[in-house]
Chain A
Amino acid sequence: MNRFDYIRPVSVPEAIAAAAVPGSAYLAAGTNLLDLMKVGASRPERVINITRLPGLDRIEWLPDGGVRVGTLVRNSDLAYDERFAKTFPVVAEALLSGASAQLRNAATVGGNLMQRTRCAYFHDLAGACNRREPGSGCDALGGENRLQAVLGWSEHCIATHPSDFCVPLAALDAIVEVEGPHGGREIALDTLHRLPGATPEQETALLPGELIVALRLPAEASSFSRNARYIKLRERTSYAFAVVSAAAALEVEGGTIRKARIALGGVAAKPWRAREAEALLEGKQATAQAFAEAAELALAEARPSGDNAFKIELAHRIVTRALSLALEGTPQAMPALPASPFPALSGANHVI
């Protein structure tokens, strides 16, 4: 444990000023950061608790039909917000497939965006990890890497981003609103998380001291509400990260795809938007063949980073499935097992 300063600012400017000191970290619910601090994988010198900042826990509907979600809105509160779930059902489904009910009740929107990789080597202080300790090497390469990245990785890092929530957000062109020492700016969620390249320690596009204050979903993203699904494969029905996952959203008119959105989870250091695959689908008939071609294109650049070639095949199949299920239509009600390929079973009529 490092000794660290603990600061609880009461305004955003105060928070940002406090975070200008190098070695600072923002703390919201702490469902990820505190665990990392306990094992020593994260060692901030200054922890800035933002949970008392005013006005960041609101869901605001914009005049154009978009939505602005404060960074402190709890995962559960957002997923169960009726209008939100109706307008952006794929996001609600992804949220409810993440973690456990207890964690979702605590975890915040901003915290979810900023969660760190689950790579075991990132957590294993006795091992080398460029993300944790730049230049030390990557023990995941050649290690136990069954669940590591198959897209966008480098020999410096093969970790994945674990969020479910971020996958449909990337697909739907979500925007992140940021405040920082030099004022406010907006970042497309798709560019918030960075691929490792030679600098895996630079995990996001945020500059030192910058604070995510809100997340915006544009009005256009609501046009997919009738045909959007998030599907997640995992080895336990709840409280498990995705082996691979996919968000698919379609705008269909008379069997023809007008617009398509596809993003993959669990495959790269960021939620993986598959723009070329989307483009391929647009204007095409919605057929299994077209979906398979889109999946092929989405995974065209994929390559195993270790004993994980199966993830490429699995990702291919889950993209196809997510598209098929999206075409079938968004379920009228949240499935009993959100994001599961399995429909409800007797005895399982609860959100996990």
Chain B
Amino acid sequence: MTTLPQHTEKKLGLVIDLDTCVGCHACVISCKEWNTSQYGAPLSDQNPYGGDNGGTFLNRVHSYEITKENMASQVVHFPRSCLHCEDAPCVTVCPTGASYKRVEDGIVLVNEPDCIGCGLCAWACPYGAREMDADAGVMKKCTLCVDRIYNENIPEIDRIPSCVRTCPAGARHFGDFADPQSNVSLLSDKRNGVELMPELGTAPVNRYLPPRPRDQIDILAPLLDTEPAQPGGLLGWVDRMLERL
């Protein structure tokens, strides 16, 4: 099924708010714990208690530093997971059809029983969103918690991705980008949500909300009048205030 669907009914995805993300890694671990016992093979860890350790995660949070002349440097925390691209190169390169994009909601998945673990899809993904599991030898990636969002065994309110449900700062939002009135569409419109590496033509579904301008206090705040023209100085002012009370 490596042909991409012409059209998907929904375009489910995430909005990640870089203005709000505090880089706490809650989404990283929540994703790991949900997915290690759900969809497909567990997310294994190698040498978990030794040196040269490693493991499979479907979501990772970087920190970037941004420097600019005459500005204080700033730090932005940056969660990175599958963007469920509309023109997903990871799907078309797959030799086995294990990689596919769902017609109903646009979620990009790996059908693990079909995956030979060749790694090509990971090479094709610009975003580092796919990780081969060293134990199972199959490709793992964000499933957009496809096993939660429709799951009738969990309360309706919880039918959202694990990472979204857990994010303490509320920096992650889940919804349908095909619907212009959805929470994610509106939020992305309002806050100028952007695509990552648009130049690669992958047409990501997920959007990132850029950080709001920083360090504007010197420009925006009023200068306090510390010598107000009132008789009697502070004492006089206090007197008048007390009179009024």
A and B interact physically: no
A contact set with B: CB distance below 8 Å: none
